[in-house]
Amino acid sequence: MQKVWHRKHDSWWYATVRESGVRKQYKLIKGPDDREHRKLAEKELIKVLADRADQEDDDTADPPAWLTVDHVVTGFLVHSRKEHGEDTYKWYKSMIEGFSERFGHLRIRQLRKKHVKSWAKRKGYNSTSQNKFIGAIKRAFNWAV
């Protein structure tokens, strides 16, 4: 995950993102330098990055180097909560949340088919459930594109 940091003199949490060789700072939330506000700032960063991704129209560009599996899954679940019914959102969440906990640290360029297949087998899914899980992961990444 992208690092967030606290600026003491103004009590704001920030994140610096490098994209196409250019660094940009995002002002996230105001609050003290503690664990709780760090978590809130990380959640806000995911929202900011997801909103930015929605606004970008260039489908031919390579994904940014900092983008992780956790960014994609979290952004997709935020999208699903807004756009789908409650049951559909809960189904997606139950299918892909554990995958994000295990492989969320990987950059999306590092994610391979073997990661997805090994997770489905490790969970003990039968072939039908494996297919549905892989479909949910594909849906999340297609949404990110």
Q: From CA 97, how far away is CA 83, in angstroms rounded?
A: 18
State the DSSP code for 131.
H
Predicted pLDDT at 55: 60
Report whether 71 contacts 1 (CB < 8 A).
yes
Beta-sheet strand order (sheet of 22-30):
4-7, 12-19, 22-30
* 38-84 confidence digits (pLDDT tens): 889 888 888 888 777 666 555 556 677 778 888 899 999 999 999 99
> In the predicted model, is pLDDT for residue 145 greater than 60?
yes
For the entire predicted model, the pTM comes to: 0.56
Q: What is the mean pLDDT of residues 30-42?
A: 89
Q: What is the mean pLDDT of residues 12-33?
A: 85
> In the predicted model, is pLDDT for residue 21 greater than 80?
no
The residue with greater pLDDT, 19 or 113, is 113
> In the predicted model, is pLDDT for residue 86 greater than 90?
yes
* 87-132 confidence digits (pLDDT tens): 999 999 988 888 888 888 888 888 888 888 888 888 788 888 889 9
Predicted pLDDT at 53: 65
> In the predicted model, is pLDDT for residue 29 greater than 60?
yes
Alpha helices by DSSP H, listed for the chain, are: 35-55, 69-83, 86-103, 113-122, 127-144
